[in-house]
Structure 1
Amino acid sequence: MSEHSVAVVRLASASSAERQEILVGVQNLLLARGVIVPNDRRDALWQPSEWKPGPGARLAVVEPVDWFDAFLDTANNGVDICGDRDVYHAVENDEAPRCPHCAASTPTAYTDSYDDWLEEWSIDGHEPVFACDRCGWSGLVGDWTGQFGVLIGAPAVTFYNWPPLSPAMITDIRAALGGRTGIVASHW
């Protein structure tokens, strides 16, 4: 059986105190809407997340799937709200992002130096800049178009094995995170 997740990640830097304040704000947003509730059956294998879907989860997805009631009791369908800076990777979905201006693929420097720039971003916090080979547009890797690549940031909200989240829910989470944000859809 495969797993998937969607992480909404704040890319803009924030101090430890700011990250904690943002984390509480996101948590309060999701709790107030009933999207999440505390996970009362937390288990390392069955339900590892601190949060699980709440009664308002149905309103947070694009369209409740016919198996939605079963989803509420499915293993590993939790939500993690993490305040620590981390790497979010698409795993089997990995795909280089595209230029937001002309939709060209990332330059070869993206793939040729992937390990180097990812390590520098992860360790030193220097988000790399790439220039489009086709139109010349230049921007931070988090500003390139795509949701199947890699992002590093904090705080982040990760939904595990949920039906697709509604655009309104994604917009509200991004607003609560503040600053530049990105999305990583993972599959493994």
Structure 2
Amino acid sequence: MVVTEGVLVGDWFQTIVDVQVTSEDAGALATEVRDWLSSAGVVSSERTDCVLGSDLGHPPGPRADEVVDASGWSDPWQTLWTNGMDITTGRTVFDGGQGEPTAVACPHCAAEIELVDEAFELDDKAWAPFQDVVHGWSEGRDVILPCPTCSHPVEPTAWKWADGYFAFGRLGFTFWNWPPLRPGFVDEFTRRLRGHRTVLIAGKL
């Protein structure tokens, strides 16, 4: 749990997802980036019971504070039980946890498709084709939809989800209960991922 200015707000996470890495390269790249984070002191090389969803993760290292903006966060955040980094490899739908996807945009024409109604409930008609995209990725299928505005076919990993709610990839690094990651750190992370396109998801359980 995280306490922000005395208010209990629950477990939250930030995930940096590589949406371009191939299945063949994901494992080696995960090791490469993990070793960089460890050598830089951002995370510990040891693995402990410090994450959700996996048995073991990497706890914060001695320089973790340098890559986050902890203003307004309870101090020290590193003493929380759930405070580690988890690495996920393999075809995965990464999502923002609570809430619903509200909109998605075409990467070619930038047209935005609203997925919720005025009550912020999923619009079944609008959501149906994108639900197939999400489930397809989980099942090992690439569901390619034409954009309803420009008709250009869009690969599953190319759609741009509002607020970064979804990302489809084969490699993700999840930081549990860390303060917001600094933009410069995210930029360097992307460079270490060989310049692949990345998506930063922030969510809460």
Structure-2-length-normalised TM-score: 0.73
Distance 1:60 1:44, change over 3 A: closer
Secondary structure (helix, strand or coil) at the match of 2:167 reads: strand
Match of residue 55 from structure 1: 62
2:49 to 42, 48, 51: 42
What letter is aligned with 1:60?
V
Match of residue 120 from structure 2: none
Match of residue 159 from structure 1: 175
2:92 to 79, 86, 97: 86
Task: Name the stretch that deviates more: 81-90 or 52-61.
Answer: 81-90
Superposition RMSD in Å: 3.0
Paired residues, number: 184
Match of residue 22 from structure 2: 14
Q: Contact 2:27/2:89 (CA < 8 Å) preserved in 1?
A: yes
Q: How much does 1:43 deviate? A: 6.1
Q: How much does 1:48 deviate? A: 4.9
Q: How much does 1:59 deviate? A: 0.9
Secondary structure (helix, strand or coil) at the match of 2:16 reads: strand
**Unmatched runs of 5 consecutive residues or more in structure 1:** none
Tell me, yes or no, if structure 1 residue 114 matches structure 2 residue 130.
yes
Q: How much does 1:137 deviate? A: 6.9
Structure-1-length-normalised TM-score: 0.79
Can you list the C-alpha shifts for 1:153-181, whole angstroms capped at 9, x where unaligned?
A: 12111111111001111112222223232
Q: Percent identity?
A: 22
Can you list the C-alpha shifts for 1:17-76, whole angstroms capped at 9, x where unaligned?
A: x2121011110121122110145652687x954201111111111x23354642010121
Match of residue 12 from structure 2: 4
What letter is aligned with 1:90?
G
Distance 1:157 1:116, change over 3 A: same
**Unmatched runs of 5 consecutive residues or more in structure 2:** 1-8, 116-122
What letter is aligned with 1:7?
T
